[in-house]
Amino acid sequence: MATDQVTRRNVLKSLTMGAVAGSVLRAIPLEAAEYAQHIIETERATSTGYAAKYFPPQEYKTIRMMCEAIIPADAECGGAIEAGAPEFIDLLTSENTDYQLKLGGGLMWLDSACQDRYDKVFLDCTTQEQKEILDLIAYRKNAATDEALSQGVEFFAFLRSFTSDGFFTSKIGIAYLGYVGNTFLLEFPGCPPVPGL
């Protein structure tokens, strides 16, 4: 095998290297994210659909529910589920032990916190209970007042960034942004006026 040959595994590993803080795309080349999206689209198009690479079924279902809560579908466009964000997260996590620890530990924390509060795991909670726990971990200020929430807050912040990256690198997310690529302009019309100013 040639040393310069690009393999699926090498590309996926390059996607996940060094992205420790904030948005994953701060460290992942856009071309590599596009490659991951291509892998996902190809697998989704098969008769069996996408098969989770890392997360067990219950954890993958939790990831899907949380992605839907982070970027739900609306009248304007599809949400994180339609964009393949859960698949993006699973695929990249399958190749990165740091992601595995962050997301796996976060999911364990979430189920444990729900068990303590509601006497059941996150998936078995009512919609209202799920909303309550997500509202608690969605804001860093809550961890400042209740240190027991700090791991949950960090987990949710990471998942929120990861979901956004999965959404905005997908065809749905790119269309939502109205991105047309590098195009030649004869003149630059400038920014549109701000209403009310």
Residue 154 and residue 143: Cα distance in Å, rounded? 9
For the packed helices 57-70 and 97-118, what is the interaxial angle rounded to 10 degrees? Answer: 80
CA separation for the pair 28, 152 (Å, rounded): 25
Q: Which range has highest mean pLDDT (15-19, 23-27, 36-40, 184-188)?
A: 36-40
End-to-end CA distance of the chain: 63
The packing angle between helices 150-168 and 127-137, to 10°, is 100
Please say if the pLDDT value at position 23 is more than 80. no
Tokens encoding 59: 């954890």
Which of residues 26 and 65 earns the better pLDDT score?
A: 65
pLDDT digits (tens, 9 = 90+) for 132-174: 999 999 999 998 999 999 999 999 999 999 999 999 889 888 8
pLDDT digits over 85-135, tens only? 999 999 989 988 999 999 999 999 999 999 999 999 999 999 999 999 999
Amino acid at 187: E
Mean pLDDT of the chain: 84
Residue 147's closest CA among 137, 133, 132, 156?
Answer: 137
pLDDT of residue 6: 45
In which band, very low, low, confident or very high, does the pLDDT at 7 lie, cut at 50, 70 and 90?
low
Specify the pLDDT at position 128.
96
Measure the CA–CA gap between 85 and 71, rounded to whole angstroms. 9
Helix spans in the chain (H): 8-16, 30-44, 57-70, 80-83, 85-93, 97-118, 127-137, 140-145, 150-168, 171-177
> Could you tell me the pTM of the whole model?
0.78
